[in-house]
Every structure is written in C-alpha cells, then in structure tokens.
Amino acid sequence: MRWGNLTKFLAVVFVVLVASGYYMLPLATSIKQGLDLQGGTHVVLEAVDTPEAKVDEDAVQRVVKIIEKRVNEIGLTEPIIQRQGERRIIVELPGIKEPEKAIELLGKTALLEFQDESGTTVMTGKDLKDAKAEIGQNKNNVVALEFSEDGTKIFADLTTKNVGKHISILLDKKVLTNPVVNEPIPSGKAIITGSKTIEEAQNLAILLRSGSLPVKVDVMEMRTVGPTLGQDSKDKSKVAFAIGIGAITVFMLVFYRLSGFVATVALIIYVMLLLFGLKMLNATLTLPGIAGVILSIGMAVDANVLIFERFKEEYHAGKTLRAAMDAGFSRAFGTILDSHLTSLISAIVLFFLGAAPIKGFAITLGLGIVLSLFTAITITKLLLRMLMHANVFKNGKIFGA
C-alpha cells in the first residue's frame, strides 16, 4: 500500500515533467504577444466631427470596413481592428516593416470608381448617395443604389451606352463587383443582383457607401516598436524568465527539500495552467501582463512557503509528520485565502476601470491568483499526502522541517 502511494507520486511527477517538457514552450509561444514585446504598430484612430459631416454609428462602421479592407491589402498576418467606445478604432499591426507607409494608408481617403468596359473611370464615390441591402422582388438579395443629382445624369448616360455590357465598381483600384447593365436607368436608382446572402449584400453595400471616408479620422495614438527592439525584448524576457524560475526552484529545493520538490512540481503545473488559461481567454501578453505573471508566481510560491512554515512549526511542536502537514495546510489556509482575495479585489477593479495596458495586467493577475489558490491547496496537498502516506520518508528534515 505504501509503495503504491510512492509509485502514484512518482507517476504524477513523471507525467508532469514530460508534459511540461512537451507543451510548456509551444504553449508559451502560442500566446499572443503584445506589440511592446514582439514589435509592430498600434494605432488609435478617432472619428471627429467636421462642419460637413457629423460622426454617427453608420459613419464609424464604414470607417472600420474601409480600414479592414486596406489592412488586408497590406497582407499582414493577424492584424487586429477593433472598435473602442463610440468613435475610436484600434488597429494593431504586428511585425510591420514599414509603419510610416501603413499609417499613411490608414488615414488616406478611399476612392470608389465606376468604370465602363474600356476601363475609363466615369463616376466616383461622390456621385453615389446611398447603398443599401434589400430583399428584391424575387426574394433575392440585392443592393439598392441611389445616386446624387449629378450622379443620376451621368449614370443614366453610362447605362444607356452600355446595355448588355459590364460596369466595374472599384474601391481603391480593386474591383468590388461588376454587374451587367440590363437596361438604361434614368431614375438615379439601381439595383445590383447576384448576392448569395443578405450578409453579402450588406457587406457590399457598406463598401459602396464607404467610397470615401465619411468623416474625418485623426490618429490619436501611434506606437511602433521596431522589429529589432521587439525581438530583443522577447529574447531577453525569455532568458530572464528562465533564470527567475530556475532560481526559485533551487531556492525551494535548498530550503524545503522534498516539500520544495513537491512545490516545484506544483509550480510547474501552475505555470502550465496559467499559460493554458491565458490561451483559452485569448489574452495578449504585454509588458504589464508580465508584471501580473511575476506577482502571481510570487503569490503561488508564497502560498507554498506559508504552508511549509506552518508545517515546520507544528512539527517542532511535537506533532507527527502527517498531523503536522495537515495542520500546516489548515492553518495556512486562512492566510492564503485573505491575501489572495485582497489581491483579487484589486485585479477585478483594475479590469473594469483600467485602460487597455492595465487590463492586461488585471487579467493575468486575476487568473494567476485563482489558479495559485487552487494549486496551493489542492495539488501541493495531494502530492504531499501521497508522499507521506507512502511512509518511506520518516524524518521531518527531509520535508524541510
């Protein structure tokens, strides 16, 4: 029976070590890294009112669409374009080589063009008044166009001359659609058929409406971390992290021996869970995020130290190994709970009130605290129990007492 416990313990340790050997690095590197770590450009745009155009929901949506389209054209991997609040748009471009060019591209006005079959531009976005997705007569999805006064005349002329031919509609020199003209359209109202779904029609309508940026867009914030610096921070952070964890491991082994070994195994499980959790939450690791990780690892180590110190006290007071360990856990529990909950409170507040970089800190810290609480009182306990029940090691010294 006692050997059974030891075997179980060794099996768990073996599995943990092998699993961490296999998964730790891939897991760590697959978590999205903030631009401050990997290099790239972060731009915050804000739509602003001008005498000609006031910002409304539709205008901002159109701006987002245009920017998405332009960013996709640069051909970057994993760009992020996000609305923030009513008027702001955040654009994140990882690992970009020419940030100046990209920023120029983001701010410039889009060009919508109508071309006839010979490729001559006949009309531009300013001639288009509106474009909407609608359900047409035969229950098909269509995009209804409405032209301005000038546009109506030009469009009437264009359609009269091109019956049976294609008209191309281009945004930023790229063809969006090229419908065939069925008949002359003098009314200034036309429909484009051929969209398979209503979403497709809506998308096309938005792109058509976004012929030019509907409102003025200002660059509020722009941060570029060059690839050299980004790579440098990343490499060095890795080394620093490895040295830090290594030192903590040595420290725990020296001061708490077998208990320290158990704590280290628990700590490895903790780091794995943390990485896994961050991945599940789709979190982005930034510099402040690393601070959260450091603090939460510190707390996880601290929880183990608290337990072992209590165990030492109880053991020296004359209790048996097992009784001392149980007492150590139960007496340290209150302290661990209080210290973790206090930190959790601030993590939650910071998550709801903090600005973006602080949110990253709050997420890693909050997750770290919950996991630290869990591993310290379950995994460390479970492993130590197995070891003590094995009854192989009977001297308290070997457990660090």
Q: 3-state class of 359 per DSSP?
A: helix
- The residue (of 141 and 375) whose beta carbon lies closer to another protein is 375
Give yes or no for residue 90 binding another protein (CB under 8 A): no
CB of 370 to another protein, least distance (A): 14
The verdict on 107 binding another protein (CB under 8 A) reads yes
Beta-bridged to residue 82, according to DSSP, are 90
User: CB under 8 A: which stretch of 65-73, 113-121, 284-292, 373-381 binds another protein?
Assistant: 284-292
Among 166, 338, 392, 394, binds another protein (CB under 8 A): 338
Q: How far apart are CA 256 and CA 253, in angstroms?
A: 5
Q: How far is the CB of 227 from another protein (least distance, A)?
A: 9
- Which residue, 300, 299, 330, 327, is CA-closest to 313? 327
For the chain, the first-to-last Cα distance in angstroms comes to 25
**Hey, what are 277's tokens?**
């959790």
The yes or no reply on residue 10 touching another protein (CB under 8 A) is no
At 163 the three-state DSSP class reads: coil
Q: Counting contacts by CB under 8 A, is residue 346 touching another protein?
A: yes
Report the residue from 161, 232, 320, 397 that binds another protein according to the rule CB under 8 A: 232
Question: For the window 199-218, what string marks contact with another protein as x by the rule CB under 8 A?
Answer: -------------------x
Q: Of the two residues 195 and 375, which places its CB atom closer to another protein in the complex?
A: 375
User: What is the CB neighbour count within 10 angstroms for residue 20?
Assistant: 16
CA pair distance 91, 150, nearest whole angstrom = 36
Query: Does residue 100 belong to the site contacting another protein (CB under 8 A)?
Result: yes
CA count, 13 A, side-chain hemisphere, 381: 19
The 10 Å Cβ neighbour count of residue 258 is 16
Half-sphere exposure of 6 (CA within 13 A, CB side): 8
Single residue of 6, 53, 105, 222 touching another protein by CB under 8 A: 222
Interaction of residue 291 with another protein, rule CB under 8 A: yes
Q: Does 237 bind another protein (CB under 8 A)?
A: yes
Interface of this chain with another protein, residues 293 to 322, rule: CB under 8 A: 294-295, 297-299, 301-302, 305-306, 309, 313
CB of 18 to another protein, least distance (A): 25
Question: Are 275 and 28 in contact, with CB atoms under 8 Å apart?
Answer: yes
Within 13 A of 74's CA, how many CA atoms are on the CB side? 24
Closest CA to 170 of 128, 133, 208: 208
Angle among Cα 200, 204, 205 to the nearest 5 degrees reads 115
Q: Does 397 bind another protein (CB under 8 A)?
A: no
Footprint of another protein on this chain (CB under 8 A)?
Answer: 36, 44, 99-100, 103-104, 107, 218-226, 228-229, 232-237, 239-241, 243-245, 247-248, 251, 255, 287-288, 290-292, 294-295, 297-299, 301-302, 305-306, 309, 313, 331, 334-335, 338-339, 341-343, 345-347, 349-350, 353-355, 357-358, 361, 365
